[in-house]
Chain A
Amino acid sequence: MKKPRVIVLRTAGTNCDNETQAAFKMAGADSELVHINELARDEKFLKNFQILAIPGGFTYGDDIASGKILANEIKYKLNADLKNFINSGKLVIGICNGFQALVKAGILPGINSGTIESTLSFNDSGSFIDKWVDLRTTNDERRPKEVPSEVEGRTTKCVWAKNLPETIYLPIAHGEGKFIPRDNDVLNQLRKNKQIVFKYIDNPNGSIDDIAGICDTTGRVLGMMPHPERHVLGTQHPRWTREGLKERGDGFMIFKNGVDYVRMRM
């Protein structure tokens, strides 16, 4: 069977590209690192891939603001191609800096396409933080606890988050991860559209409504601050020496979901 093709987009300051590529490979995809200049100069084409991953890092040093210069570049150099990519039913995942870029380019949350509806700003603590966090994977707060997750509320729109356990454990590593929607309207839309994919159980950065990850209105574009690619192997878990070594980490399923989604439709 042909493997889904993943483009892991890199540019100056991208630094989680290798592990993101490795995670997609483990999940059964064919993944390739491509520099943004190669797309802009028509040496490589977005349309030849089914999944676009924008990995973590400090693109262009996060000068001006995190992910901002990459967002600007996407807007001016890749906008039409990226829109076509999304509209043709393909998948996008932005992790950490990739999330910041997607938000600042107006691709996420994408309620009104192309407008800036939210941002990721400085952590309330004012400093960079690397720690592991528990994430609740449901997007529907109104679901009463007693309703089993497979019955209701688990049908988050996001195809990347299908069948995840109630909570997953992933590391964050960012200085600007505080999610802020423009206003309450945007927040309500996010809730209503089931676009909130991950929430912090113990909010590490002051994100509004504990939001750690959102998807667009199609459910195929996911952005998240935590790093799923840093928890695909059992030895990456900070307490594997206590709790036992598992074959796969919690983040693996996210990549598998993406790859399986494409494979089912290929």
Chain B
Amino acid sequence: MEWKIEIRKRKGVFDPLGEGVKKDILDLGISGVKKVNVSQVFIISGDITESDIKRIAGELLTDSITEEYVVNNERRTTNDDQRKSRAKSRGERRIIEIAYNPGVMDPVEESARKAIKDMGIYGVKSLRTEKKYFIEGKITENDFRNICEKLLYNKVIQHAVKEHSARCIKHSNGYKFKLVIVNLLGADDKRLTKISRDGQLFLNLKEMAQIKNHFKKLGRNPTDCELETIAQTWSEHCGHKTFRGIIEYEEDGKRKIIDNLLKNTIMKVTSELKKPWCVSVFKDNAGVIRFDEDDNICFKVETHNHPSALEPYGGAGTGIGGVIRDILGVGLGAKPIMNTDVFCFGLPDTPRKNVPKGMLHPKRIMKGVVGGVRDYGNRMGIPTANGAVLFDERYIGNPLVYCGTVGIMPKDKSFKAAKCGDLIVAVGGRTGRDGIHGATFSSGELTHESEAVSGGAVQIGNPITEKKLTNTLLKGRDRNLYTAVTDCGAGGFSSAVGEMGEDLGAEVDLEKAPLKYQGLSYTEIWISEAQERMVLSVPRENLKELMDIFKKEDVEAVVVGCFTSNKRLKLRYNGNVVCDLDMEFLHGGIPRFERKAVWSKPSHRECDTKDKKDFTQDLLKILSSWNVCSKEWVIRQYDHEVQGQSVLKPLVGIENDGPGDASIIRPKFNSKKGIIISNGINPRFGFIDPYWMAASCIDEALRQVIAVGGSLNKTALLDNFCWGNTDKPDRLGSLVRASFGCYDIAKGYGVPFISGKDSLNNEYSVRGESIAIPGTLLISAISVMDDVTNAVTMDLKEKGNLLYIIGETKNEMGGSHYNLINNCVGNNAPTVDAKKGLKIFNRISEATRLGLLRACHDLSEGGIACALAEMAFSGGFGIEAELKEAPYEAKSSKAKRDSIILFSESNTRFIAEVRKQDKNKFENLMKGIPIGLIGQVSGKKDLKIYGLSGKKIVDISLDKLKEAWQKPLRW
């Protein structure tokens, strides 16, 4: 028997969800909707009596204060409603019911079934949820369709329930084993290419030929499972083959061969610096550094771009879920203590007609992504305390979603090694058809057909499964019950078992994996990227104790195989061998990429920086530009304080709403030792020169660490490259150039890289033309702070205090926001002099350690003008400042102009607030460093800036500055 229970708000009860939808409809440009109501629908089938269903509905599913329910076992309501809605004067009230597509995880199912069991009702066989929308008002049929498709559901994961349509589409009635052999040996080049494309393997011809040769030597064809395993392992996502390949690089007519870009730039910094506190770098799931005598901390940032483009909510949620599992899988498992999220979107005010076919509007993507991170991160109980949101029209077809997690673990749990004979235990979520081909999918370009072809790669996560997994896994770790652990990320079991058994060998019986539903083939089980799963290697004698831990907290764990010593990957399905691969070939057989890369400096239109009498309007424009404006709407949706460890929150100041430079947490309540997390990202400088973009990103991330009171002593970096298709020499050329920048500047500052990731092929084809994202480098910094009570925030603190600029301003307007609001890019991107910069950083660290700084803010987008404005309105104090006191690079003094000093985004600069009584102490400490006393904190509520001539060039109240800054994203 199938029951349908519909839960509606009682009459007169405010429906905030409906209100939200109403607002979003207005956002679509559709007016006329008077009211929206949302009902939750539960479809429960099984052997349940009517009285039990009424108990379930009344006691469990309905909130008797605000809701009421309707039970119907014949689904008459739907038809009735629809008939009624048709009858109701053609479109006064419309109804649509949205259900998940078959195979998509419905997170409510598991918990609701548990609750029904708790009530002593055991007959439930399946439970699905739907959402029912009632839309009242005069709208056209076309409007209604638009609302449904653009707002209420995403066909990648959901569908509208049709009248009389079967509600529960069966996945398939079980699976009958049939071994699939792929005829590679008989395939010519054309055929090999076709096999790769049709199978969504994303392997190039050279790779396919290599595989063919391997099997030729073996005298047999591969199974589908073998081919898939190789494709996963060799995917760009898992293998970083571009970075490790051979590149012929050309710049200004000069050529050189780079054999492994990663080793020659990013990793070289670390190996040359030899920091004793780097515990594990570029080996494990994340970089690990020393925290204190007992513990290490680790940090990893991942991207989840392609899934987020198609299904923003699910894509971002599973992105954060994935990077959390990375941290759970570092060493023997670390406890996640903080998340960081950085997003790049198209412009939220993009006209709808400019959104390419098959793509969602940037605003919808943004809302979905933020919602996904919110719901997953908050449910995991990990504070999302750092991040950034950037906008550029070229992200419209390909948004970027960077998700990062910090973890902490005991020193002696920082390494892993599976042993021969250990059992392979799969733990956490069940395996389903979700996420098939995620790893290879992310290695290709998006087209408007992507959603149809790769819909399976998109999933909805279930954070509670991961939360349970986290708690129990760490218990098992603390009792030393397993020897190794890896997350099932891209590639699923295939990559997890393949990685753990690389030096050993492994055997897996695929039919043992717990499935969400019947009907999966052996290959689907093997490569499914269903979420919330981890693989452990467990010595046989520990199995019972470990299984008990999982069982006690309702976490599913199953032995699926064991590690061997024969260096072979052997998979069986009910005893039939479906894969038997040589580990050496699997991990070492990939032909190295040989690619060409070219970089030549582009030439952009120079901007007119002619001086004006008044720059107030320019300042307001920059403050309210998408990149600079307040991100409070995003930040407040994240629980950034759970775990109780926050010391500096993302928002600071007298009204808790100013833009803090970096976040600090203290992971132990009884210790003052803390962790600073910051990030640097500025794709606009990359338009001019990726080298200086990389330099600026590193400088910015470090600047923020310094600004909040940290030091470079125990600071490490992560790199995340998101680039276009690096098969194209110009894209690869800019990647190479950015990598050079990373090496030079990180080395110069003495700061090692500890982990990184690249996401290439971020392009979008529209009408045959491929649009690449701007090459976007995210640099994340992690720093250990000895005493968090020395922390400094950027908001002005007291009237009468002195304001200093530290660091030189240069004529570096290229890529600046001043140029952006004047519709040009320019050609002189900000540079970095690490030798001078290091001195500045170290002195400021000393000043904060001595308690000399009342406030400190790093100068970035919008330069001095923006920083002064932000410090003023965050602190609630006015400023009077004179530009002629700002240190200015001597050689370009001819170009000394108000506009440049106000808005240049030169690196390694800060504004500091110092008490009058500390003036001498501060100035003595800063000897040899370019500083300028530019003004004072005033008692008035406005910002006054005097130009080089001594005339006032900015004069505006704090309220107006703050309003300009807050308004754009006050959604």
List, in ascending order, chain B residues with CB within 8 A of A236's CB: 641, 644, 646-647
Contact status A128-B379, CB under 8 Å: no
Contact status A73-B467, CB under 8 Å: no
Contact status B552-A121, CB under 8 Å: no
What residue of chain B has the Cβ atom nearest to residue A234's Cβ? B789
Of B19, B63, B553, the most chain A CB neighbours within 10 A belong to: B63
What residue of chain B has the Cβ atom nearest to residue A115's Cβ? B64
Within 8 Å of chain A (Cβ to Cβ): is B114?
yes
List, in ascending order, chain A residues with CB within 8 A of B65's CB: 116, 118-119, 121, 180-182
Of A72, A127, A182, the most chain B CB neighbours within 10 A belong to: A127
Within 8 Å of chain A (Cβ to Cβ): is B60?
yes
What residue of chain B has the Cβ atom nearest to residue A241's Cβ? B793
List, in ascending order, chain A residues with CB within 8 A of B649's CB: 238
List, in ascending order, chain B residues with CB within 8 A of A16's CB: 381, 642-644
User: Could you tell me the distance in whole angstroms from the C-beta of B340 to the nearest C-beta in chain A?
Assistant: 16
Contact status A230-B791, CB under 8 Å: no
Contact A60:B791 (CB < 8 A) given known A126-B20, A130-B641, A236-B644: no
Interface residues of A in 175-221 (CB under 8 A from B): 180-182, 206
Within 8 Å of chain B (Cβ to Cβ): is A19?
yes
Contact status A129-B636, CB under 8 Å: yes
Contact status B64-A60, CB under 8 Å: no
Contact status A13-B636, CB under 8 Å: no
Of A64, A116, A173, A227, the most chain B CB neighbours within 10 A belong to: A64
Within 8 Å of chain A (Cβ to Cβ): is B107?
yes
Within 8 Å of chain B (Cβ to Cβ): is A235?
yes
Give the interface residue-count category, chain A.
35 or more
Give which listed residue, A37, A60, A119, A241, contacts B115 with CB less than 8 A. A60
User: Could you tell me the distance in whole angstroms from the C-beta of A217 to the nearest C-beta in chain B?
Assistant: 19
Give the interface residue-count category, chain B.
35 or more
Q: CB-CB contacts of A112-153 with B at 8 A, as 1s and 0s?
A: 000010110111111111111000000000000000000000
Contact status B656-A12, CB under 8 Å: no
Give which listed residue, B374, B464, B875, contacts A60 with CB less than 8 A. B464
User: Could you tell me the distance in whole angstroms from the C-beta of B659 to the nearest C-beta in chain A?
Assistant: 14
Give which listed residue, B108, B380, B791, contacts A63 with CB less than 8 A. B108
List, in ascending order, chain A residues with CB within 8 A of B290's CB: none
List, in ascending order, chain B residues with CB within 8 A of A116's CB: 64-65
A1 to B734, CA, bound (A): 69
Contact status A235-B647, CB under 8 Å: yes
Contact status B66-A242, CB under 8 Å: no
Q: CB-CB contacts of B109-153 with A at 8 A, as 1s and 0s?
A: 001101100111000000000000000000000000000000000
List, in ascending order, chain A residues with CB within 8 A of B791's CB: 241
Contact status A15-B114, CB under 8 Å: no
List, in ascending order, chain A residues with CB within 8 A of B119's CB: 72, 76
List, in ascending order, chain B residues with CB within 8 A of A122's CB: 16-17
A124 to B19, CA, bound (A): 9
Q: CB-CB contacts of A235-258 with B at 8 A, as 1s and 0s?
A: 110110110010000000000000
What residue of chain B has the Cβ atom nearest to residue A23's Cβ? B644
List, in ascending order, chain B residues with CB within 8 A of A13's CB: 379, 463-464, 467-468
What residue of chain A has the Cβ atom nearest to residue B463's Cβ? A61
Contact status A61-B16, CB under 8 Å: no
List, in ascending order, chain A residues with CB within 8 A of B795's CB: 242
Within 8 Å of chain B (Cβ to Cβ): is A167?
no
Contact status B553-A60, CB under 8 Å: no
A122 to B19, CA, bound (A): 12
Within 8 Å of chain B (Cβ to Cβ): is A57?
yes
List, in ascending order, chain B residues with CB within 8 A of A229's CB: 644
What residue of chain A has the Cβ atom nearest to residue B42's Cβ? A64
Within 8 Å of chain B (Cβ to Cβ): is A91?
no
Give which listed residue, B61, B63, B468, contacts A12 with CB less than 8 A. B468
Interface residues of B in 58-83 (CB under 8 A from A): 59-61, 63-66
A129 to B656, CA, bound (A): 14
Within 8 Å of chain A (Cβ to Cβ): is B788?
yes
Contact A68:B553 (CB < 8 A) given known A63-B111, A122-B16, A242-B797: no
Interface residues of A in 56-86 (CB under 8 A from B): 56-58, 60-65, 68-69, 72-73, 76-77
What residue of chain B has the Cβ atom nearest to residue A174's Cβ? B639
Known: A58-B464, A173-B639. 7 other contacts (CB 8 A): A13-B464, A122-B16, A128-B637, A173-B642, A182-B65, A238-B651, A238-B656
A residues near B (Cβ < 8 Å) are: 10, 12-16, 18-19, 22-23, 26, 35, 37-38, 56-58, 60-65, 68-69, 72-73, 76-77, 104, 116, 118-119, 121-132, 171, 173, 180-182, 206, 227, 229-230, 232-233, 235-236, 238-239, 241-242, 245
A-B contact pairs, 7 of them (CB 8 A): A12-B554, A60-B115, A118-B65, A173-B642, A230-B642, A236-B644, A236-B646
